[in-house]
Amino acid sequence: MATETPPAGPEPGTSAKLQILATEHWSLLATRSLTYTESLGRVQMFLAILSGSVIALALVAQADRFGPTFIAVAIFMLAVVFFVGVATMARLMSLNRDDFRWVLGMNRLRNAYFAMYPELAPHFMTSPYDDLPGLVRARHANPARHAVGDSSCGSWSNRSPGRGRHRRSIGGSPSGGCGRICGRFALVGKLGTKVCKAA
């Protein structure tokens, strides 16, 4: 009497692993959403202060005819606007770095998905690696420029998900993805300082 062998199902514990990974993924998505919300709030607050200061200066100028009172008020208000603008820029840069971390974390989780189900790799547009090409693909996924498996940001659809790139620590050594990103931020800052001095 012939017996049929049942199809091989998922290994024990796979559903629990997927649930844990999905929970962490949704947590990172929620945190990234809060980051965007705070960024927009900071920009709106600065624009509100700037527009209010301009309107107030216009009213003072009409009353004082650009006299000493107008100059005193303008110095005070412009100093406040400058301080708020610098604080807003600093906070936005910090939020942008945090957003990099959340994207790198989601890339690592995607790598874990691919390690369990490598046949799903061609169906994802973003990269499962936490290096710089993976970050660029995740943040600027453009189907017209970066097709799945395209080599413009490093082909990853045919790579094994467990070949080591996801082992680089976030915020670790400068040889890691986040370290190279921070190095590029520092380079941009130095270039901006030189341009301001030259002007």
Report, as an integer, the average pLDDT of 125-144. Answer: 71
CA dihedral (111, 39, 98, 140) in degrees, to 10, reads 40
Q: Which residues of 39-68 are buried (b: 16+ CB within 10 A; e: fewer)?
A: beebeeebeebbeebeeeeeebeeeeeeee
Q: What's the confidence (pLDDT) of residue 41? A: 96
- Write down the domain spans for the chain: 16-126
Q: What's the confidence (pLDDT) of residue 94? A: 95
Q: What's the confidence (pLDDT) of residue 10? A: 53
Q: What's the confidence (pLDDT) of residue 163? A: 42
Q: Please determine, for residue 123, whether its predicted confidence score (pLDDT) is greater than 90.
A: no
Residue 187 burial (C-beta neighbours within 10 Å; 0-12, 13-18, 19+)? exposed
CA distance 181 to 176: 9
Q: Which two tokens stand for residue 90?
A: 């600093």
* Nearest residue to 73 (alpha-carbon basis) of 85, 60, 82, 86: 60
Q: What's the confidence (pLDDT) of residue 138? A: 73
Q: Please determine, for residue 172, whether its predicted confidence score (pLDDT) is greater than 50.
A: no
126 secondary structure, DSSP code: S
Q: Is 66 helix (H, G, I), strand (E, B) or coil?
A: coil
Q: Please determine, for residue 134, whether its predicted confidence score (pLDDT) is greater than 70.
A: yes
Q: Please determine, for residue 195, whether its predicted confidence score (pLDDT) is greater than 70.
A: no
pLDDT one-digit tens code per residue, 85-121: 999 999 999 999 999 899 899 989 989 998 888 898 8
Q: What's CA 172's distance to the chain center, in Å? A: 17
In percent, the amount of the chain with pLDDT more than 70 equals 64
Range 165-174 contact pairs with CB under 8 angstroms and sequence separation of 24 or more: 165/111, 165/129, 165/130, 165/131, 165/134, 166/107, 166/108, 166/111, 166/112, 166/128, 166/129, 166/130, 168/130, 168/131, 170/101, 170/104, 170/105, 170/130, 171/101
Tell which wins on pLDDT, 3 or 71.
71
| Cα distance between the two ends of the chain | 90
Helix/strand/coil percentages in the chain, nearest 5: 70, 0, 30
Give the model's confidence band at 25: pLDDT under 50 very low, under 70 low, under 90 confident, else very high: very high
pLDDT one-digit tens code per residue, 39-50: 999 999 999 999
Element (H, E) at 32: helix 14-64
